[in-house]
Amino acid sequence: MNAPSKDDSCSVCHDTFKLPCQANCSHWFCGECILMVWHHSSALHPCKCPICRRPINLFIPSNLIGQEHDVESERVMRDIAKYNRFFGGGPVSLIQRVRDMPLLLHRMARELMDPQRALFLVQRTRIIFFILKQMTLLLELILMMRRDL
Ligand SMILES: [Zn+2]
Ligand SMILES: [Zn+2]
């Protein structure tokens, strides 16, 4: 069964799993906890597993999830799906990439503005370049849609 064992607990919040997701290194975390770990690391890189330090590029939600239909769980599951698209390396359509943009841009902006984190110039430049690339994608999509009209 695709679920964490009963006596296991989330190593981030040390509580029982909420919306359990298994990372590609086989460790389990709450969906919300692991997104938090990613929010505290670099936006451009996949986060590292808090247990084994391996980079995570895929989260597989437990098949026990599905009963929860509250707004909060739905948001977490959507963000997990977005994370998988950013780092999973699977084919992602241009439209999907543009749809996912707000979350990533928000992360970038936070990283740039964070006074706690003195970013090196190289990192800053990379983030700015990344944002520019996203803008180009958006433009490409707009042009594409206009052509279809
Ligand atoms: Zn947790
Ligand atoms: Zn791990």
Q: What is the pLDDT of residues 89-114, one digit of tens each?
A: 777 777 777 788 888 888 888 877 77
- Whole-prediction pTM: 0.74
Distance 125 CA to ligand 2 centre (A): 30
Q: What is the pLDDT of residues 36-52, one digit of tens each?
A: 999 888 878 899 999 99
State the sign of the Cα–Cα–Cα–Cα dihedral 139, 135, 82, 27. Answer: positive
Backbone angles phi, psi at 80, to 5 degrees: -65, -45
Neighbours of ion ligand 1 (CB under 5 A): 10, 12-13, 30, 33
For the chain, the structural domain boundaries read 1-90, 93-149
Q: How far apart are CA 52 and CA 74, in angstroms?
A: 28
Mean pLDDT of 130-143: 85
Distance 127 CA to ligand 2 centre (A): 27
CATH topology of domain 1-90: Herpes Virus-1 (3.30.40)
